[in-house]
Amino acid sequence: MFKKQKHVLKTIYRLMRPIFDPFRLKGIPAYSRYFKDLAQYKALDGTDAIKFEDLRPQIYQKSISHNVSAHYFYQSAWAFRLIHESQADRHTDIASDTALSALLSALIPVTFVDIRALDVTLHNLHTVAGDIASLPYADQELSSISCLHVIEHVGLGRYGDPLDPQGTLKAASELVRVLAPGGNLFVSVPIGRQRVVFNAHRILATSTVLSMFDGLELVEFSSVSDRGVFLRNSDMASFDDAVYSCGLFHFRAPSVKGTA
């Protein structure tokens, strides 16, 4: 009974958080430390004048360790290493973390595709506005593709995309359609007990992911566990009951269509 009540309270909190986060009230005592630091700083020799309009309290960063998203941290490192090792001469990223595309562009030409415009100028980085459910590429056009923590969102409307229960499946089909023979596809998704967490994302069983990319060779499956631990070459079966892990899938298209 207590476990059920705990889940209900967590759901209520998630519904409230966009307009009011009660846990942020813990920041009130932090303001006293902020103004204490401000007074001490202004009393130091050589301090520049600080105007009232230039005050911008940062009260949540005083911690003994970095607060990073394990999924995003490890997936970018994983994909960057494998794309580099694949010796791709160019790469296309579909709506992943923009930092991955920026860093890869230091090595090879990169095209970043997203439904939301990315207005940046950087050598070797080309940006394209495009919908993953209908990619602006011909069949088998791209030889190296990454799509990290993306397809689980498609069809839930979170990023302004149309509502569609088949959104994730359609996105996967598009990735397969544009992948060239012998090409590499790097995909990550939340894995575990399959369900829709509206409108944040879907969590997929590993068997579902494999079925969506049927016809491609699975080169590697790695993971980030519920506890945030990264493991290369993981055991898929161990994630059947996961709550919110991350599956990292490296697929390769057959060199000749219709063959393994």
Query: Which amino acid is residue 48, in one-letter code?
Result: D
CATH no. for residue 102? 3.40.50.150
Closest CA relative to residue 190, chosen from 176, 178, 208, 173? 208
User: If you ran DSSP here, which 8-state letter would residue 152 be given?
Assistant: G
- Asked whether residue 63 is domain-assigned, the answer is no
176 with 215, same domain: the answer is yes
Q: Number of folded domains in the chain?
A: 2
Task: Spell out the per-residue pLDDT of the chain, length 260, in tens.
Answer: 566 677 777 777 778 777 777 766 666 777 788 889 999 999 999 999 999 999 888 877 777 788 889 999 999 999 999 999 999 999 999 999 999 999 999 999 999 999 988 999 999 999 999 999 999 999 999 999 999 999 999 999 998 889 999 999 999 999 999 999 999 999 999 999 999 999 999 999 999 999 999 999 999 999 999 999 999 999 999 999 999 999 999 999 999 755 44
Query: Which amino acid is residue 241, in one-letter code?
Result: D
User: If you ran DSSP here, which 8-state letter would residue 48 be given?
Assistant: P
45 with 79, same domain: the answer is no
Closest CA relative to residue 152, chosen from 162, 164, 167, 131? 167
37 with 111, same domain: the answer is no
36 with 124, same domain: the answer is no
Global pTM value: 0.87
- Asked whether residue 257 is domain-assigned, the answer is no
- Asked whether residue 61 is domain-assigned, the answer is no
- Asked whether residue 20 is domain-assigned, the answer is yes
32 with 96, same domain: the answer is no
Instruction: Provide the residue range defining the domain that includes 41.
Output: 2-54
CB atoms within 10 A of CB 65: 5
- Asked whether residue 162 is domain-assigned, the answer is yes
DSSP 143-200: EEEEEES-GGGTTS-TTSPPP-TTHHHHHHHHHHHHEEEEEEEEEEEEESS-EEETTT
b/e code 183-219 from CB counts within 10 Å (16+ = b): bbbbbbbbbbeeeeeeeebbbbbbebbbebbeebeee
138 with 113, same domain: the answer is yes
Joined tokens for residue 183: 């090409």
| Calpha distance 143→154 (Å, rounded) | 23
